[in-house]
Amino acid sequence: MIGGRWFTAVQVGALGLALAFLTLPLVAIFVDVGPGELLSSLDDPGALDALRLSLETTAMALALILAIGTPAAWLLATRSFPGRSLAITLVELPLVVPPAVAGIGLLAAVGPSGVLGGAVSSAGLELVFQTAGVVVALTFVASPFYIRQAQAAFGALDPSLIEASRTLGAGEARTFARIAVPNALPGLLAGMALAWGRALGEFGATLVFAGSLSGVTQTAPLAIYERFSSDFTAALALSAVLVALSAAILLGVKLAAGARVLGDARA
Amino acid sequence: MMRFATLLTTLAATLGGCGGGEDGGKPRLTVSAAQSLQGAFEDYGSRFDAATVRFSFAGSDQLAAQIRQGVRPDVYAAASTELPQQLFEEGLVGEPVEFARNRLVIAVPADSPIGDLGDLDRDGTDLAVGAETVPVGSYTREVLDRLPAAQRRAILADVRSEEPDVSGVVGKLTQGAADAGFLYATDVAGAGDRLRAIELPRRLRPQVTYGVAVVEGAKEPEAARAFIEGLLSDPGRRAMRRAGFLAPG
């Protein structure tokens, strides 16, 4: 019994330590920057440009990720085929690749002198130094967060539900759209929030692949890095806005999925 | 219980060990240095006997910002004299000394058709330059400020990326992403045969001087001073010359 109590204490201590460690830097940002500075930082047109660009590019990346990632995750979750484990591992690979390496890889693949560089430019696409390049970098680093979560959500669906839909004569596409997606929605939303948050915070791949130019490729994290050396207060203020935005996304999605997630937890 | 305690002790010892101090009897020196010094300093550092040297390379402005935020390396070496002088006036580093000079050049991929400054403002020429706050970027703007306004505007309109340090510009050029940029002569030499340097007309050349100082509150002030002294005498001079730097004026 004493051993049990000891272990509980360790768990509580560990959780306390983890929470303190994970929240302290974020809290410090808000302690350091007063509301006045926060507001005046939004007078900086460069900062507003960066925030606007961040919202636009992450929204575009998220749209791509949802459109391609959802059916791909459904396939991975519901079919067994040769090379499935390999496919899952490959999808997860960007999670463990350092962002700067992702940027170098993208340059080597679709940059002007990359393997597919000729094909990209003959298709009339310009990526490097362009907003489109930012979207490509964000999509690359963020999509595994969504696909993994979506695959898990689809995999956790009650098989009899899917079976019933098929038995009642619904085709595969109809089953996917009418049964699978609505029932897996809390999981899909959670994956979406993670991918969005990751995209919003993306720094290395964007800088290496797309560059940094105000209004074109300089997203909020790049603008923060630039301000870090010249104006620490402005960097803090912009960081605070980004933290608030990310937290709002996470919270909003959790609330949207709230009833179901809570239901799951109780079940 | 016992094992948990051992784990904690080990963890504490490991974490404590990260904070500098002795390494096999030798002091461990932390040097924050401009990104453009990487090749030369790694060469010099490997020959420096008085301490085991660990480097942190980044844009001089980022390193200065870190020091302002309380980071305490032992030595701060910048690609300008301005940044160490500012830190000195703020009481954050000792009096800086000049230890090397460099030349700002136009850098292009080796096979580039670009021949001189006049080619940079052509339509479709993509430029990568240093951001305004990093020394290489402020030297670049010094050069552009000496040009006629129309030419300056045309060149600035071709800037596609403002990189946080020289390695960003080097990467954009060697990958063929950008057609030209402004770099130090030593960066071009360090990139092997992938990049070519185009000298700037004499009247446009900025004076690029490197300053170094002992950081106030350094853990190893003695080794830091020895590092700087070595830099100003034979071993340091040789390493700097090998990398293409010039002696201070």
Min CA distance, A36 vs chain B (Å)?
21
Q: CB B161 to CB A112 under 8 A?
A: no
pLDDT at B23: 54
The β-bridge partners of B211 are B78, B98
Residue B59, classed as helix, strand or coil, is coil
* Burial classification of residue B5, based on how many CB atoms lie within 10 Å of its CB (0-12 exposed, 13-18 middle, 19 or more buried): exposed
Q: CB A213 to CB B126 under 8 A?
A: no
User: Which phi and psi (to 5°) does residue B199 adopt?
Assistant: -65, 145
Residue of chain A minimizing CA distance to B135: A229
pTM, to two decimals: 0.81
> Buried b / exposed e across B113-127, counting CB within 10 Å, b at 16+?
ebeebebbbeeebbb
Q: CB B175 to CB A129 under 8 A?
A: no
Closest CA to B45 of B244, B246, B247, B226: B226
- Report the C-alpha gap between A95 and A97 in whole angstroms: 6
In sequence order, the 6+-apart residues with CB closer than 8 A to the CB of B67 are: B32, B73, B76, B87, B92, B93, B215
A112 reaches B (C-beta below 8 A) = yes
Question: Which of B:130-189 have CB within 8 Å of A?
Answer: 131-134, 159-164, 168, 171-172, 175-178
pLDDT at A110: 92
* Range of weakest confidence among A86-100, A207-221, B3-17, B151-165: B3-17
User: Which phi and psi (to 5°) does residue A15 adopt?
Assistant: -65, -40
pLDDT tens, residue by residue, B99-111: 999 999 999 999 9
Residue of chain B minimizing CA distance to A2: B1
In order, the DSSP letters of A228-239 are: HHH-HHHHHHHH
Q: Which chain B residues are within 8 Å of A129, Cβ to Cβ?
A: 126, 160-161, 177-178
pLDDT at A136: 97
Q: Which chain B residues are within 8 Å of A108, Cβ to Cβ?
A: 175
Min CA distance, B96 vs chain A (Å)?
20
Helix (H) or strand (E) holding A166: helix A159-167
pLDDT at B20: 46
Do the Cβ atoms of B104 and B136 come closer than 8 Å? yes
Q: A106, A229, A233: which to substitute to probe chain B, counting the most B Cβ within 10 Å?
A: A229
Q: Which chain A residues are within 8 Å of B156, Cβ to Cβ?
A: none
Please report which residue ranges of A33-127 form alpha helices under DSSP H. Answer: 35-41, 45-78, 84-96, 99-110, 117-122
Confidence of residue B32 (pLDDT cuts 50, 70, 90): very high
Tokens of B152: 């300056």
User: How many CB atoms lie under 10 A from the CB of residue A180?
Assistant: 23
A230 reaches B (C-beta below 8 A) = yes
Cα-only R_g, chain B:
20
Do the Cβ atoms of B76 and B212 come closer than 8 Å? yes
Residue with tokens 């002790």: B9
Residue of chain B minimizing CA distance to A216: B160
pLDDT at A135: 97
Q: pLDDT 10s digit of each residue in chain A, 267 long?
A: 556 789 999 999 999 999 999 999 888 888 877 777 777 777 788 889 999 999 999 999 999 999 999 999 999 999 999 999 999 999 999 999 999 999 999 989 998 888 998 898 888 888 999 999 999 999 999 999 999 999 999 999 998 888 888 888 888 888 899 899 999 999 999 999 999 999 999 999 999 999 999 899 999 999 999 888 778 888 888 899 899 888 898 888 878 776 554 445 443
Q: CB A212 to CB B164 under 8 A?
A: yes
Size of the A and B interface in Cβ pairs below 8 Å: 73
pLDDT at A217: 94
Q: CB A211 to CB B128 under 8 A?
A: yes
User: Which phi and psi (to 5°) does residue B159 adopt?
Assistant: -70, 120
Q: Which chain A residues are within 8 Å of B134, Cβ to Cβ?
A: 229
A107 reaches B (C-beta below 8 A) = yes
Percent of chain B residues past pLDDT 90, beyond the cut: 84
pLDDT at A157: 92
